[in-house]
Amino acid sequence: MSGLEVVTLTLNPAVDCTVTIPGFAAGAVNRVRSMQHRAGGKGVNVALALAGMGHRVAVTGFLGEENRILFDQAFRESQVADYFVHLAGSTRVGIKIVDVEKNQTTDINFPGLMPPSNAMRLLRSGMEQLGASWFVLSGSLPEGMDVAIYQSLIRSLRQRGCKVALDTSGTPLRHALEAGPQIIKPNIEELSTLMGARLDTREQVATAARDILQQHGVELVVVSMGAEGALFVTANECLTAVPPTMEVRSTVGAGDAMVAGIISGALRGLSLADQARLATASSMRVLARNSNSAHTVPDLEPLMSKVMIT
């Protein structure tokens, strides 16, 4: 398909079931205030957020045939081109228990479908037919999948001249760095795990990010640090984007909204400071409302003006 700006890849999507339980307590009887089901998975979230920002987006990865209706509906409503490879069975369910009183989210993640070898061939073949400025590879891998799959896919995409953003963690991230994606977005815990040491200060985070830039040819490292904002590091710049003090209703999907803002900023040719403002504002919008609000056309300018850049 031509005319695309971004293709997102989600190998392990999920039907996100968000359950709001004020005062949630393990081992006790809990009363549900509200419940929502939606199409989820990190790459899916990024794609829907980018489409809401007005970009031309396609999605691919693996989806279970038996419960695809939520995904079909979301892609149709957001005008996202669907190139998922469909597998027998059901896409996994991810349960998020949101406690608005304690400002906590508890994740219960089920294992995903294991794609057979022919499905992986179909996926690779399909990706070769998709031309876009950016490919975003996001999320965990299905159980049993080759932990170097992102590395292999990034190398193929780079050989085609495509730009790649990566948002994963653990062993898949470690392997994928060897292929040199342009952008990575770990959170501070994921970066600490990657470096094998606790990172307690912004200076330590910045040093770790610069090490990645130098060793792996990455062009931009974005490290999310919760309420302290996010660090944006390139070879020539290092800045922190800090949101204003705000009521956080849910953290669900906030990191994916940030990735969408980073890519949108890159597509628009923004300076690093404005890219950081846009990415942070995109994340703020989700934090202040809920994950389902991320997929409508946002007016982010007022939020961008509230982001402090240092």
Catalytic residues, by residue number, are 256
The tokens of 104 are what? 């906590």
The tokens of 187 are what? 């959170």
C-beta of residue 310 within 8 angstroms of C-beta of residue 242: yes
What is the Cα–Cα distance from 302 to 219, expressed in whole angstroms? 28
3-state secondary structure of 189: helix
Rounded alpha-carbon distances, angstroms, from residue 182 to 26, 78, 145, 147: 41, 27, 24, 20
Helix ranges restricted to H, the chain: 42-52, 69-78, 117-128, 149-159, 170-177, 188-195, 202-216, 254-268, 272-288, 301-304
Nearest to 257 by CA among 296, 305, 221: 296
Nearest to 115 by CA among 85, 156, 83: 85
Torsion of CA 91, 75, 4, 116, to 10 degrees: 20
The tokens of 5 are what? 């700006």
What is the Cα–Cα distance from 258 to 276, expressed in whole angstroms? 9
What is the Cα–Cα distance from 63 to 108, expressed in whole angstroms? 19
